[in-house]
């Protein structure tokens, strides 16, 4: 075999061998077990931290409110819809078993007009009643910008919750 | 040369031809040719196979789903990164289509068109379609995004190289590059919640139950009930992505 | 990070109509414009070299070695823009370790390696082996060592061995032509196979990329050849230059016809995306598409080179015009890549609106970084010309 061919073949052989070795060394474990990916990545994705507790957790302490709520229009709303994620709040009570919740874990109280407006502000996209006979999406709409805005004498702004109980509107 | 030619007689030709044609027929019968090189495998009809249903008629555009998604999954707050968002479509009487999604709908919507000019208007919640033939999975060069056996498209953030090819390949705009991690990020269908027996955050939080989520392999699941009783459609069906996000009352304007 | 967000807020204020919220950020920036540009230059330069060797265009001999070295210089940096734009550049090796066979980008790693190792390096090695052995004996010190290493310590320069080199080099070139087609057709496929993006998704994309690659590569070698003879104060081989210009003209016609066909097809079919793309072309892409790519990059060079087929002005003038035409084409093809890569991301996949593109001077995706990747190949080329000067080679007749 000519000299240059020999040299070339050995260079290429070394290169390919190195590549194959690297491949063995660097290929992550669990790769290819379920498909062309690291099977462990599914596990890693399930290990993420939770924030929303789910409505079952609320019933443990706030049974009275849930009872109120079950009688009104908001019965199908989960608590966290308005109050925000509450897992830390719920876990704290589970652990410490006291009502003395630190300020940082007190959940949001939506008492501003804008909090109600997010669902109830009148919007053509929201009117569905005439199309939907089951009426499941019937929702009361109001122009939050002018509906009983303030006391005409004192000019004090009303909040929605001054007249409507959010748990039983 | 002439001698060589005559060696290969007509009979040989037919013999060879029969062997080739027969061989192809037999092998293709044993292993049918799968015409398209898809990255993922079709459902095997066993175990769970998750899908999503969204009833546009029920969506009131509160944006709670988009907000819940950001809070549950630590999605960056800036309005350029969304795993789930809501769009407001307004079709005017003259046919113009206006689509809006300020901050993904998290801060609520305002109707910018006066009522008398509106032909129709509705909200469309958007999220990852968890396609069965995901274009994003198909193009990932290293296998850092994949479909789980349960039909959830996930990202392996410890393996993603951040080439952004999948972002380009997703027809629905459901992927973004996480500004701090440098890897791609997308909806996981809250797999961390599913494994604990909870619903994904956006389904948990929807006040009108416009979102239905369930197992397509289970004939009795809520999702299959929903699909049976509504005329459902996926977005961009012509792209054949095998989308598993089914919308009821989807207007053709929605893209 | 803060700058990045600041940028995005600025872009947000310039969004027209509606884009999906994740689409406000342009994901593939100037570095990805450079990537097909540089690969194209490689493929084009190589094709020019092959014209001499395979198609026996002896008249192109003065540019043979130069074209090969240019191809190598650009090939060595071709993947750098791609790697430097990654979110996690240090994970780039994964493309080779666990390539996903259904991904165009994963296969590119192998196509690239094949082209670099098996085609370019081998052809140059066979071409220069005898010279390197001779030069190793003539020089001293580090340069001598370098020649020794590069020639893999071979010493056989008998006529038989040289004939073998020549023969093998020829075989490699024959393999090289389809490989060059594969390399750049593949880059086109990376874009053309994205069905989500109607601006990219066309079967013609690989072919268009291929021919524009040849055009740009040939123009580059032409430019370098003119400049190099000027620097070395030699008289230029006008017959060779005219021949290059002729082939440049032919390939430019094919390129122009293909791109025209692509656009006519789009306009006539007028699919779902047509209105959105129409507005894009006449809006945000108007200047770069019609002026930079169309008028300056294609029409003017086409007319000039076309005229030269009938009427040839004096050599001095012709040489200068060639210089201008080659530069125009290089700029034009750059903007062709720009229009594909950036243009394809300016419109929303909802077809309801447009985002805008902002690029900084500095930063990983800025102009500075981009120009670095464009300058480095020329530095490499200068080094290669110093190490392996084609003009000092012993003339080998490529006739076998």
What mean pLDDT is predicted for residues A91-114? 78
A51 vs B71, B110, B120: nearest CB: B71
**A 13-42 residues with CB below 8 A of C?**
15, 19, 22-23, 26-28, 31-32, 36
Find chain B residues with C-beta within 8 A of C25's C-beta: 80, 176-177
Alpha-helix residue ranges (DSSP H) falling in chain C:
2-13, 30-53, 61-77, 80-84, 94-97, 104-113, 122-138, 141-150, 159-192, 204-231, 238-269, 274-282, 286, 300-308, 315-341, 343-346, 367-387
- Helices within chain B (DSSP H only): 2-7, 10-30, 64-73, 135-139, 165-169, 191-194, 201-205, 222-229
C356 or A139, which is more confident? C356
With H, G, I as helix, E, B as strand and everything else as coil, classify residue B208: coil
As a whole number of angstroms, the distance between CA B35 and CA C135 comes to 56
CA distance C54 to C63: 14
Please give the torsion angle defined by the CA atoms of residues B81, B83, B89 and B95, in that order, rounded to the nearest 10 degrees: 80
Task: Please state which architecture CATH assigns to domain C30-261+364-392.
Answer: Up-down Bundle (1.20)
- A contacts of B210 (beta carbons < 8 Å): 137
Mean pLDDT, residues A100-112: 83
Collect all residues with Cβ–Cβ distance below 8 Å to C230 and sequence separation of at least 6: none
Is the predicted pLDDT of residue B195 greater than 50, yes or no?
A: yes
Contact C358, C367 (CB under 8 A): no
CB contact under 8 A, A137 and B121: no
How far does B160 lie from chain C, in Å, by closest CA?
A: 8
pLDDT on residue A130: 44
Q: Which residues of B86-110 are buried (b: 16+ CB within 10 A; e: fewer)?
A: bbbbbbeeeeebbbbbebbbbebbe
- Nearest residue on chain A to C155, alpha-carbon basis: A3
- Asked whether residue A75 falls in the same domain as residue A24, the answer is no
pLDDT band at B187, cuts 50/70/90? very high
Find chain B residues with C-beta within 8 A of A91's C-beta.
none
CA dist C184 and B64 (Å) reads 47
pLDDT at B225 over 80: yes
- List CB contacts of B232: < 8 A, sequence separation 6 or more: B53, B226, B246, B247, B248, B250
User: How does strand B50-55 pair with strand B211-215?
Assistant: antiparallel
Please state which of the ranges A110-114, B243-247, C327-331 shows the lowest mean pLDDT.
Answer: A110-114
Residue A92 has pLDDT above 50, yes or no: yes
- Residue B222, SS3? helix
Chain B residue numbers touching C23 (CB-CB < 8 A): 173
Q: What is the ipTM of this complex?
A: 0.91
pLDDT digits (tens, 9 = 90+) for B92-141: 999 999 999 999 999 989 888 998 999 999 999 999 999 998 999 999 99
The answer to whether residue A155 scores a pLDDT higher than 50 is yes
β-partners of residue C347 are C354
What is the domain partition of chain B in residue ranges?
1-33, 50-248
For residue C44, the number of C-alpha atoms closer than 13 Å in the C-beta half-sphere is 31
- Best residue in B86, B98, B134, B161 for a mutation probing chain C (most C CBs within 10 Å): B161
Chain C hits for B89, CB-CB cut-off 8 Å, are none
Query: Rounded mean pLDDT of chain B?
Result: 85
Give the rounded distance of the alpha carbon of C305 from its chain centre. Answer: 21
Cβ distance C172 to C119 under 8 Å?
A: yes
Strand partners, B123: B88
Domain boundary among A84, A108, A132: A108
Strongest mean pLDDT among A92-96, A153-157, C127-131: C127-131
Q: Measured between CA atoms, how close is C194 to chain A, in angstroms?
A: 20
Helices within B54-134 (DSSP H only) = 64-73
Cβ of B141 within 8 Å of Cβ of C95? The answer is: yes
Total number of domains in chain A? 3
How far apart CA C124 and CA C344 sit, in angstroms, is 37
Q: List, in sequence order, every beta strand (DSSP E) within B97-203.
A: 97-100, 118-127, 145-147, 153-155, 176-177, 184-185
Q: Is C358 on the interface with B (CB under 8 A)?
A: no
**What distance in Å separates the CA atoms of residue A23 and residue B21, rounded to the nearest whole number?**
40
When CB atoms are compared, the residue of B165, B170, B183 closest to C105 is B165
Same domain, A77 and A88: yes
**Which comes out higher in pLDDT, residue B104 or A91?**
B104
Q: Is B154 in contact with A42 (Cβ distance < 8 A)?
A: yes
The residue whose two tokens read 């047509």 is C274
Any idea which residue has 């006529």 for tokens? C159
Q: Do the Cβ atoms of A3 and C161 come within 8 Å?
A: yes
Provide the pLDDT confidence category of residue B38 given band limits of 50, 70 and 90.
Answer: very low
3-state SS of chain A?
A: CCHHHHHHHHHHHHHHHHHHHHHHHHCCCCECCCCCCECHHHHHHHCCCCCCCCCHHHHCCCHHHHHHHCCCHHHHCCHHHHHCCCHHHHHHHHHHCCCCCCHHHCCCCCCCHHHHHHHHECCHHHCCCCCCCCCCCCCCCECCCCCCCECCCCCCECCHHHHCCCCCC
Domain covering B50-248, topology: Alpha-Beta Plaits (3.30.70)
- A34 vs B contacts (CB less than 8 Å): 148-149
Yes or no, beta carbons of A137 and B57 under 8 Å apart: yes
Chain B residues closer than 8 Å to A118 by CB: 62-64, 107-108
pLDDT at B42: 54
Chains that contact C by 3+ CB pairs under 8 Å?
Answer: A, B
pLDDT in tens, chain C (400 residues): 678 888 889 889 899 999 999 999 999 989 999 999 999 999 999 999 988 888 888 888 889 999 999 999 999 999 999 998 899 999 999 999 999 988 888 888 888 888 888 889 999 999 999 999 999 998 888 999 999 999 999 988 888 998 999 899 999 999 988 888 888 888 899 999 999 999 999 999 999 999 999 999 999 999 999 999 999 998 889 999 999 999 999 999 999 999 999 999 999 999 999 999 999 999 999 999 999 999 999 999 999 999 998 988 898 999 999 999 999 999 999 999 999 999 999 999 999 999 998 877 667 778 888 899 999 999 999 999 999 998 888 776 665 4
Return the bridge partners of B184, or none: B177
Same structural domain for residues A120 and A130?
yes
* Chain B neighbors (3+ CB pairs < 8 Å): A, C
* Statement to judge: residues A38 and A53 lie in one domain: no
A140 near C CB under 8 A: no
- C28 vs B39, B161, B168: nearest CB: B168
Question: 80-139 in A: which are within 8 Å (CB) of B?
Answer: 80-81, 84-85, 114, 117-119, 121, 123-126, 128, 131-132, 136-137, 139
Contacts of C92 in chain A (CB under 8 A): none
Domain hosting residue A82, numbered range: 49-108
Tell me whether C97 touches chain A (CB under 8 Å).
yes
Where do the structural domains in chain C lie, given as residue ranges?
Answer: 30-261+364-392
Nearby residues of C205 by Cβ (< 8 Å), 6 or more positions away: C188, C189, C191, C192
Please judge whether A52 and B61 are an interchain contact, meaning their C-beta atoms are less than 8 angstroms apart: no
* Residues from chain C contacting residue A27 (CB–CB below 8 Å): 97-98
Nearest to A4 among C94, C98, C154 (CB): C154
Measured distance between the N- and C-terminal CA atoms of chain A, rounded to whole angstroms: 94
Count CA within 13 A, CB hemisphere, residue A42: 19
With beta carbons under 8 A apart, name residues in chain C contacting B243.
Answer: none
Taking the C-alpha atoms of residue C206 and residue C196, their distance in angstroms, rounded to an integer, is 17
SS3 C27: coil
Kindly report the nearest CA distance between residue A10 and chain C, in angstroms: 10
CA C122/CA C139 separation, integer angstroms: 23
């Amino acid at each position: 075999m000519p000299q240059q061919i020999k040299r070339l073949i050995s260079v290429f052989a070394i290169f390919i061998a190195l590549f194959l070795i690297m491949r063995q060394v660097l290929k992550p474990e669990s790769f290819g077990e379920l498909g062309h990916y690291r099977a462990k990545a599914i596990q890693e994705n399930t290990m993420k931290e939770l924030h929303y507790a789910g409505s079952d957790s609320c019933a443990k302490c706030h049974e009275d409110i849930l009872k109120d709520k079950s009688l009104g229009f908001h019965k199908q709303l989960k608590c966290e819809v308005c109050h925000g994620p509450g897992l830390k709040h719920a876990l704290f009570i589970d652990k410490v078993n006291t009502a003395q919740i630190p300020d940082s874990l007190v959940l949001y109280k939506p008492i501003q007009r804008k909090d109600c407006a997010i669902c109830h502000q009148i919007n053509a996209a929201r009117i569905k009643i005439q199309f939907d006979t089951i009426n499941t999406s019937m929702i009361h709409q109001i122009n939050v910008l002018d509906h009983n805005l303030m006391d005409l004498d004192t000019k004090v702004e009303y909040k929605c919750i001054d007249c409507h109980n959010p748990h039983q509107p | 040369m002439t001698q060589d030619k005559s060696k290969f007689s007509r009979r040989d030709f037919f013999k060879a031809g029969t062997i080739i044609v027969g061989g192809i027929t037999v092998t293709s019968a044993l292993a049918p040719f799968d015409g398209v090189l898809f990255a993922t495998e079709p459902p095997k009809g066993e175990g769970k196979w998750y899908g999503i249903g969204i009833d546009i008629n029920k969506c009131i555009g509160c944006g709670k789903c988009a907000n819940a998604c950001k809070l549950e999954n630590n999605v960056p707050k800036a309005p350029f990164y969304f795993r789930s968002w809501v769009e407001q479509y307004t079709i005017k009487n003259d046919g113009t289509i206006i689509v809006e999604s300020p901050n993904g709908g998290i801060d609520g919507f305002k109707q910018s068109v006066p009522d008398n000019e509106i032909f129709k208007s509705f909200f469309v919640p958007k999220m990852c379609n968890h396609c069965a033939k995901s274009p994003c999975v198909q193009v990932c060069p290293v296998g850092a995004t994949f479909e789980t056996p349960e039909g959830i498209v996930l990202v392996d953030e410890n393996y993603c190289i951040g080439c952004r090819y999948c972002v380009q390949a997703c027809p629905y705009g459901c992927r973004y590059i996480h500004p701090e991690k440098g890897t791609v990020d997308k909806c996981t269908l809250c797999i961390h919640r599913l494994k604990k027996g909870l619903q994904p955050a956006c389904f948990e939080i929807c006040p009108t139950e416009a979102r239905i989520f369930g197992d397509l392999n289970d004939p009795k699941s809520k999702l299959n009930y929903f699909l049976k009783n509504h005329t459902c459609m996926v977005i961009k069906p012509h792209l054949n992505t095998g989308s598993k996000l089914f919308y009821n009352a989807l207007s053709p304007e929605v893209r | 990070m803060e700058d990045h967000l600041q940028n995005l807020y600025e872009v947000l204020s310039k969004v027209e109509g509606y884009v999906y919220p994740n689409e406000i950020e342009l994901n593939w920036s100037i570095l990805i414009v450079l990537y097909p540009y540089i690969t194209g230059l490689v493929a084009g330069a190589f094709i020019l070299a092959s014209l001499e060797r395979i198609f026996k265009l002896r008249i192109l001999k003065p540019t043979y070695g130069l074209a090969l070295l240019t191809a190598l210089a650009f090939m060595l940096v071709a993947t750098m823009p791609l790697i430097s734009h990654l979110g996690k550049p240090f994970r780039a090796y994964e493309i080779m370790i666990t390539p996903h066979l259904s991904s165009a980008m994963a296969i590119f790693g192998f196509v690239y390696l094949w082209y670099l190792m098996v085609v370019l390096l081998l052809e140059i090695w066979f071409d220069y082996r005898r010279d390197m052995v001779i030069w190793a004996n003539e020089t001293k010190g580090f340069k001598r060592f370098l020649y020794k290493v590069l020639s893999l310590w071979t010493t056989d320069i008998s006529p038989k061995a040289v004939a073998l080199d020549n023969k093998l080099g020829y075989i490699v070139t024959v393999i090289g032509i389809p490989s060059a087609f594969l390399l750049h057709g593949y880059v086109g496929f990376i874009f053309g196979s994205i069905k989500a993006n109607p601006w990219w998704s066309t079967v013609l994309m690989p072919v268009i990329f291929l021919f524009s690659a040849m055009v740009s590569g040939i123009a580059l070698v032409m430019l370098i050849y003119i400049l190099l003879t000027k620097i070395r104060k030699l008289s230029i081989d006008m017959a060779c230059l005219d021949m290059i210009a002729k082939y440049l003209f032919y390939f430019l016609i094919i390129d122009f016809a293909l791109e025209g066909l692509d656009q006519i097809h789009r306009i006539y079919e007028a699919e779902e995306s047509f209105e959105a793309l129409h507005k894009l072309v006449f809006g945000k892409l108007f200047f770069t598409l019609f002026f930079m790519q169309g008028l300056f990059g294609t029409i003017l060079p086409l007319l000039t080179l076309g005229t030269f087929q009938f009427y040839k002005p004096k050599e001095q003038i012709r040489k200068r015009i060639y210089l201008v035409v080659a530069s125009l084409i290089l700029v034009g093809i750059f903007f062709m890549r720009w229009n594909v890569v950036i243009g394809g991301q300016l419109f929303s996949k909802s077809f309801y609106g447009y985002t805008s593109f902002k690029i900084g001077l500095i930063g990983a995706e800025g102009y500075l970084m981009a120009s670095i990747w464009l300058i480095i190949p020329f530095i490499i080329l200068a080094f290669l010309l110093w190490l392996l000067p084609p003009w000092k080679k012993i003339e080998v007749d490529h006739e076998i």
